[in-house]
């Protein structure tokens, strides 16, 4: 599997985990893994359906917890236009607008890999 893009998820001022978009022969999959520090010192799930565990959580599509952090409607279209992304590129929009998300999971770091 080839790593396409990576986002760093923060919760309660701690780096909670890493969300990866991976390329597979059948299309993109997504993987979220809590950091060792977060597991050891915080040990609280960032979302109800994202249990705290050391093994990566793998999804065939972007987990609704992450997808639902984004804006909707005209704000989403505006953010997509500013970031030069398709408004359906949910993962890309998370990376581009992660620092502006609301709530405890509203701070995202970003690293983008290509090629």
pTM of the predicted model as reported, rounded to 2 decimal places: 0.85
Confidence band, pLDDT 50/70/90 cuts, at residue 1: confident
Check: CB of residue 14 under 8 Å from CB of residue 43: no
Report angle CA 79, 93, 23 to the nearest 5 degrees.
Answer: 150
Q: Express each pLDDT in 69-103 by its tens digit.
A: 888 999 999 999 999 999 999 999 999 888 777 66
- Span 23-39, average pLDDT: 95
Average pLDDT over residues 23-43: 95
For residues 41-63, average pLDDT: 94
With contact defined as beta carbons under 8 Å apart, do 96 and 105 qualify? Answer: no
What is the average per-residue pLDDT within 60-70? 91
Question: For the residues 48-62, what does the mean pLDDT come to?
Answer: 95
**Cα(32)–Cα(6) distance, rounded to whole angstroms?**
10
């Amino acid at each position: 599997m080839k790593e396409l893009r990576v986002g760093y998820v923060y919760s309660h001022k701690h780096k909670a985990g890493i969300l990866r978009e991976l390329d597979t022969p059948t299309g993109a999959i997504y993987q979220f893994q809590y950091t060792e520090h977060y597991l050891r010192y915080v040990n609280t799930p960032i979302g109800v359906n994202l249990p705290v565990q050391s093994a990566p959580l793998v999804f065939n599509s972007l987990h609704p917890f992450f997808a639902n952090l984004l804006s909707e409607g005209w704000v989403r279209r505006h953010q997509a236009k500013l970031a030069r992304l398709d408004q359906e590129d949910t993962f890309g929009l998370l990376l581009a607008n992660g620092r502006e998300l609301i709530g405890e999971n509203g701070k995202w770091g970003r690293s983008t890999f290509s090629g």
